[in-house]
C-alpha cells in the first residue's frame, strides 16, 4: 500500500524480502546499503538477536530522487526467517507493495523454501493479497555452493506461475541489484 | 481481513487541516513535536520542533512498536492498546491510535505533564480521526482513484536503472 502524499509531494513504496532462515535476505539489503551512494539511502536499522539473526526486521530506505516533482522512496524490509517469528512476519507484510522471495539454493534447504513460500501465501492472503497478482520476484541465492540444486528443479518447486527469477550470490552482490531493479519496476508500473 | 486500497493519497487540503489540528494540540498541551505515521511505517507529517533524529527510521520503528503492542494486547485478551507511553529521564513519548490506520506520536519533555498530554491527545485523536475517516472513504471510492501519469513511471524506471544499474 504505497502512500502518495500530494501535500509534501512524496511517494513511498514498501518492498519486503521474504524467505527461509539464513537464506540471505539481510545480506541482500546490506549489500544495497554498501553499494548505493550515501546521499540516496537512509539509516540501516537491524533489529537482530545477539547472534545476528533477524529478530523483528531490517529496514533500509532508498531514495530514487525527485521524479516529476515527487520525492520517490523505496522502503526495503526483511522479515525474520525462523517460523516461530511468524507474528513479526505478518506485521512487516502489512501494506506491502512488492515481495522478493529469497530462496536458499542448497538441496538441504528445499523443505525450508517450500514451507516459507506457503507461509508467504498464507500471510498475504490474510491481507487479501495474492502474490500472483502483485509485484513479486524470486531470487535463488547461494548459487556458488557445490550443493546448490539445479535452477530447473527450484523453478518446478517454487515457481509454478513463472514469476521473474534471478540467480544470486548475495555475499558477493551477484544478482542483488537485478532482483531489486525487477521488483521496484513492477511496483512503479502498478502506481501508474 | 479485508483488502485495503492499493495505495492512498494525501491532498493539500488534508495536510492543511491536519496541520492546524496538530499545531493547536501542541500549543494546548505543551508538547514539543507531533508526528503522524501510518501503520505500515511511513511518515505522513511532522508538526512542531523538527526532531534531530532520522524521522524515516523513527517512523518505521514506531509503527513496529505499536503493531507489536497490538499483538501483545490480543494475547492478554484486549482488543488493542489504543495508546502507549514511553517515559525517559528528560524526553518522553506518547503514542495513540487514530482511525485504526494512523499513529500519532507525541514527543514532550519535563515542561509538559503527562496528564495534560493525555487529555489533549484524546481530543486531537477524535478530531484527526474525523479527517482521516473522510480521507479514507474518499480514497476507497473508485471514481476518485488518482493515478500517477505514465511519464512519471517512465522517468522512475530510468532512475531505477541509473541507481540500481549494472554493478
Given A3, A126, A129, which is nearest B7 (Cβ)? A3
Taking residues B74-97, what's their average pLDDT? 93
A64/B159 CB distance under 8 A? yes
Q: Which residue of B has its CA nearest to A125?
A: B1
Taking residues B81-88, what's their average pLDDT? 93
- Indicate yes or no: pTM above 0.80: yes
User: What is the 8-class DSSP label of residue A6?
Assistant: T
For residue B137, the model assigns a pLDDT of 86
Report how far residue A21's alpha carbon sits from residue A111's, in angstroms, rounded to the nearest whole number: 12
pLDDT band at B167 (very low <50, low <70, confident <90, very high): low
Percentage of chain A beyond pLDDT 90 is 74
pLDDT band at B3 (very low <50, low <70, confident <90, very high): very low
Q: What is the pLDDT of residues A19-36, one digit of tens each?
A: 999 999 999 999 999 999
Higher pLDDT, B139 or A129: A129
Put simply, whether B8 touches A (Cβ < 8 Å) is yes
Taking residues A110-138, what's their average pLDDT? 95
For residue A8, the model assigns a pLDDT of 82
Give contacts of B166 with chain A, Cβ < 8 Å. Answer: 177
Give contacts of B11 with chain A, Cβ < 8 Å. Answer: 6-7
Per the listing, cell 491481507 goes with A127
For residue A109, the model assigns a pLDDT of 97
A67/B152 CB distance under 8 A? yes
Q: What is the pLDDT of residues B94-140, one digit of tens each?
A: 999 999 889 999 999 999 999 999 999 999 999 999 999 998 888 77
Is residue A123 over pLDDT 50?
yes
Report how far residue A98's alpha carbon sits from residue A96's, in angstroms, rounded to the nearest whole number: 6
For residue A7, the model assigns a pLDDT of 80
Given A1, A68, A75, which is nearest B4 (Cβ)? A1
B146/A4 CB distance under 8 A? yes
Give contacts of A166 with chain B, Cβ < 8 Å. Answer: none
- What number of other Cβ atoms are within 10 A of residue B146's Cβ? 10
DSSP for A135-173?
SEEEEEE-TTSTTBPPHHHHHHHH-TT---EEE-BTTTT
Q: What is the pLDDT of residues A155-175, one digit of tens each?
A: 999 999 999 999 999 999 999
pLDDT band at A116 (very low <50, low <70, confident <90, very high): very high
Is residue B9 over pLDDT 90?
no
Is residue B4 over pLDDT 50?
no
Higher pLDDT, B150 or B105: B105
Q: Which three cell numbers stand for residue A103?
A: 530462496
Given B3, B147, B157, which is nearest A185 (Cβ)? B157
For residue B8, the model assigns a pLDDT of 74
Q: Which residue of B has its CA nearest to A133?
A: B6
For residue B143, the model assigns a pLDDT of 59
Q: Which three cell numbers stand for residue A186?
A: 513492477
Measured in whole angstroms, how far is the alpha carbon of residue A46 from the centre of its chain?
15
Amino acid at each position: 500500500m504505497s502512500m502518495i502524499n500530494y501535500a509534501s509531494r512524496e511517494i513511498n513504496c514498501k518492498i519486503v524480502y521474504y524467505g527461509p532462515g539464513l537464506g540471505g535476505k539481510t545480506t541482500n539489503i546490506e549489500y544495497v546499503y554498501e553499494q548505493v551512494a550515501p546521499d540516496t539511502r537512509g539509516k540501516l536499522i537491524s533489529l537482530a538477536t545477539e547472534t545476528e539473526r533477524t529478530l523483528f526486521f531490517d529496514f533500509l530506505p532508498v531514495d530514487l530522487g525527485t521524479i516529476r516533482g515527487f520525492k520517490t522512496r523505496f522502503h526495503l524490509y526483511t522479515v525474520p526467517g525462523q517460523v516461530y517469528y511468524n507474528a513479526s512476519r505478518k506485521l512487516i507484510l502489512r501494506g506491502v507493495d512488492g515481495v522478493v522471495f529469497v530462496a536458499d539454493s542448497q538441496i538441504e534447504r528445499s523443505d525450508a523454501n517450500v514451507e516459507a513460500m506457503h507461509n508467504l501465501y498464507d500471510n498475504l492472503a490474510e491481507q487479501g493479497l495474492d502474490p500472483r497478482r502483485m509485484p513479486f520476484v524470486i531470487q535463488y541465492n547461494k548459487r556458488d555452493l557445490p550443493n546448490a540444486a539445479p535452477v530447473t528443479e527450484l523453478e518446478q518447486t517454487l515457481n509454478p506461475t513463472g514469476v521473474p527469477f534471478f540467480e544470486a550470490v548475495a555475499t558477493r552482490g551477484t544478482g542483488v541489484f537485478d532482483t531489486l531493479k525487477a521488483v521496484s519496476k513492477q511496483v512503479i508500473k502498478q502506481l501508474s | 481481513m479485508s483488502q485495503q486500497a492499493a495505495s492512498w493519497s494525501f491532498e493539500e487540503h488534508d495536510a492543511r487541516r491536519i496541520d492546524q489540528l496538530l499545531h493547536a494540540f501542541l500549543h494546548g498541551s505543551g508538547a514539543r513535536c507531533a508526528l503522524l505515521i501510518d501503520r505500515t511505517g511511513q511518515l505522513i507529517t511532522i508538526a512542531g520542533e523538527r526532531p534531530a533524529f532520522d524521522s524515516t527510521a523513527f517512523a518505521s520503528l514506531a509503527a513496529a512498536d505499536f503493531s507489536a503492542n497490538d499483538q501483545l494486547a490480543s494475547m492478554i485478551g484486549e482488543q488493542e492498546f489504543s495508546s502507549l507511553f514511553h517515559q525517559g529521564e528528560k524526553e518522553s513519548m506518547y503514542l495513540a491510535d487514530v482511525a485504526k490506520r494512523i499513529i500519532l506520536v507525541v514527543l514532550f519533555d519535563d515542561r509538559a505533564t503527562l496528564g495534560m498530554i493525555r487529555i489533549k491527545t484524546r481530543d486531537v485523536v477524535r478530531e484527526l480521526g474525523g479527517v482521516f475517516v473522510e480521507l479514507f472513504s474518499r480514497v476507497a471510492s473508485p471514481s476518485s482513484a488518482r493515478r500517477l501519469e505514465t511519464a512519471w513511471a517512465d522517468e522512475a524506471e530510468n532512475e531505477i536503472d541509473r541507481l540500481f544499474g549494472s554493478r
